[in-house]
Amino acid sequence: MDTVAMHISNGIVDPATSAVFAAIALAGMIVCVLRGRRDLDDRLAPMAGLVAAFIFAVQMLNFPVLPGVSGHLLGGALAAMLVGPWVGALCVTIVLIVQALVFADGGVSAIGLNVTNMALIGTFLTYGVLALLLKVLPRTATGVAVTGFVAAVVSVVAGSLGFVLQYAIGGQVDGISLGGAAGAMVGVHALIGVGEGLITAATVLAVAKVRPDLVYALRGKRLLPSTPKSTVESAA
Amino acid sequence: MGAGHAHVLHLERDSVVHRLPPQVKIVASVAFTLLVVLTPRERMWAFAVYAGLLAVVAALGRIGPLWIARRTVIEVPFVILAVILPFLGTGETVAWLGVDLSVEGLYGAWNIAVKGTLGVVSSLVLAATTPVNDLITGLERLRCPQIITQIAAFMLRYLQVLSDEARRMRVARLSRGYRPRFFWQLRAWATGAGALFLRAFERGERVYVAMLSRGYTGTFPRLKGRSARPGEWAAALALPVATGAVALAAALT
């Protein structure tokens, strides 16, 4: 199981729909460049380049699932958490463009569809979810881990629903029951999302413990110790 | 979401196709793919002609059919989708070996399989005949916004560095006798990925400071590359022009 793509290829969704989503992706990308400049100003090129290389490299690192079976990370939610939605979406977009042009992964005519699903929906919806969760949950290791997990599950499932939506609008085959397709897509991706969620949570936690200032979603605040010191002392 | 992109697809060769400037090849490849996608799926002969045209380009680029065939496995998941479509579609059906197959589903499957394959092969030919850095130069010459080409250039330049770093971490873990085999042992993996992010981010900051000290002001000098001669444009555009003629004929018949 190496080098198998899950990017939408040519001929799955009709040209008109692909063109509409290409326009959406382009607009999203312009906004991301402008807002990314606000986050990083002239550091944007080197920083986003290195983060994109990180996402790409992390997708190449297989982790064991069971002996003989391995998986790899998709990284959308991870990027959103670590570098924020703007730079995150920009990096994922560039990864997708390079994968289509240099690695023949994902159809050239479907770039807009893939960018919309994985970069825009994957990163922005995720960022909304995790910003909300971080407000509600305590700023502890557990809170951050739960946030990372939920955000990653949402990113993967929402991306797959994006594909279902695109297929409903411009699918090249009529008469396929959309409910069935949506159910199958969500089912498979919920499973993938659980794996993605566990790894995203563990990775973000690893970064947050060492350099909380580099986790964009924490906005420069440190993690709180999971049990307040006083209770530990009183228990002892 | 593809895994295992460690090896860039470029084939170190010398051929007519390799020598063309990257920008004309990008335009030819993208135009070819778009024209293929626009062709009505019922005109099966048109796709046979497209395959023939691509085969000629691949032969001119001295790319073996086996090299291409091995790398088209990238689209296997979508072929699986194509295979199940005839069983899912509704409406008119045809009987084949005693199984009722949906005509609409069969057309859909054919559409995905043929357009997907032609697109992948066209991208493979482009990638095989063009070094990665030249692709970036080509995009710049095609007036792609510099912020995009810069980020892509940084990414491609540091990809190997980061994957080597990841490999060293893995070797260090293995040499300490820890070889996780199950999903619930992924903490070491995640810690490694976290460390990789920190190193990538800190490296980005160092690279930025190094760039500043060399006079970086937020923009790059345009990558050089040479402009394409009219003859080279004509040679490269022969592919999409021929494809366009076929597509037009297919649309009109």
Q: What is the DSSP string of A22-75?
A: HHHHHHHHHHHHHHHHHHHGGGHHHHHHHHHHHHHHHHH--EEEETTEEE----
User: In terms of domains, do B96 and B172 share one?
Assistant: no
What's the pLDDT at B52?
92
Distance from CA of A232 to the nearest CA of B (A): 26
A8 occurs within a structural domain = no
For residues B171-185, b (16+ Cβ closer than 10 Å) or e, as one string? eebeeeeeeeeebee
Residue A229 pLDDT > 60: no
Task: Enumerate the residues of chain B whose CB falls inside 8 A of the CB of residue A64.
Answer: 180-183, 185-186, 189
- Cβ-based neighbour number of residue B16 at 10 Å: 13
- Quick check: B213 contacting A, CB < 8 Å? no
Task: Enumerate the residues of chain A whose CB falls inside 8 A of the CB of residue B120.
Answer: 9-10, 104, 107
Cα angle value B205/B206/B210 (rounded, 5°): 120
What's the pLDDT at B41?
82
Nearest residue on chain B to A34, judged by CA atoms?
Answer: B147
Residues 6+ positions from A149 with CB-CB distance below 8 Å: A197, A198, A200, A201
The answer to whether the complex's ipTM is over 0.85 is no
Instruction: Tell me the C-alpha distance between B121 and B125, whole Å.
Output: 6
What's the pLDDT at B61?
85
Q: B213: pLDDT confidence band, cut at 50, 70 and 90?
A: very high
Number of domains in chain B: 2
Is the separation of the CB atoms in A82 and A58 below 8 Å? no
Q: A2: pLDDT confidence band, cut at 50, 70 and 90?
A: very low
The mean pLDDT of chain A is 79
B222 occurs within a structural domain = no
User: In terms of domains, do B173 and B60 share one?
Assistant: no
pLDDT > 90: what percent of chain B?
Answer: 6
A203 occurs within a structural domain = yes
pLDDT > 70: what percent of chain A?
Answer: 83
Number of domains in chain A: 1
Average pLDDT over residues B65-92: 70
User: In terms of domains, do B238 and B117 share one?
Assistant: yes
Angle between helices B187-213 and A44-60 (to 10 degrees): 150
Distance from CA of B38 to the nearest CA of A (A): 7
Which of B36, B153, B201 is nearest residue A214 as measured by Cβ atoms? B201
What's the pLDDT at A65?
62
Q: What backbone torsions phi and psi does residue B64 show, to the nearest 5 degrees?
A: -70, 150
Q: A135: pLDDT confidence band, cut at 50, 70 and 90?
A: confident
Q: Please give the residue that has the higher pLDDT: either B8 or B174.
A: B174
Average pLDDT over residues A104-109: 77
Instruction: Tell me the C-alpha distance between B114 and A10, whole Å.
Output: 9
B126 occurs within a structural domain = yes
Q: B74: pLDDT confidence band, cut at 50, 70 and 90?
A: low
Residue B170 pLDDT > 60: yes
What's the pLDDT at B115?
86
Summarize pLDDT for A38-63 with one digit per residue, the tens: 877 777 788 888 888 888 888 777 66
- Quick check: A62 contacting B, CB < 8 Å? yes
Task: Enumerate the residues of chain A whose CB falls inside 8 A of the CB of residue B126.
Answer: 101
Helix (H) or strand (E) holding B211: helix B187-213
Q: A172: pLDDT confidence band, cut at 50, 70 and 90?
A: low
A71 occurs within a structural domain = yes
- Quick check: A42 contacting B, CB < 8 Å? yes
Summarize pLDDT for A179-227 with one digit per residue, the tens: 776 777 788 788 888 888 888 888 888 888 888 888 888 876 777 775 5
CB contact under 8 A, A176 and B105: yes
Query: What is the three-class DSSP state of A219?
Result: coil
Summarize pLDDT for A79-103 with one digit per residue, the tens: 888 888 888 898 889 888 888 877 7
Residues 138-157 of chain B whose Cβ lies under 8 A from any Cβ of chain A: 145, 147-148, 150-157
User: In terms of domains, do B118 and B21 share one?
Assistant: yes
- Cβ-based neighbour number of residue B244 at 10 Å: 16
What's the pLDDT at B1?
34
Q: Give residue A102's domain range.
A: 15-221
Q: Give residue B43's domain range.
A: 16-138+227-252
The mean pLDDT of chain B is 81
B164 occurs within a structural domain = yes
User: In terms of domains, do B87 and B170 share one?
Assistant: no
User: In terms of domains, do B29 and B104 share one?
Assistant: yes
Residue A233 pLDDT > 70: no
User: In terms of domains, do B175 and B247 share one?
Assistant: no
Q: B25: pLDDT confidence band, cut at 50, 70 and 90?
A: very high
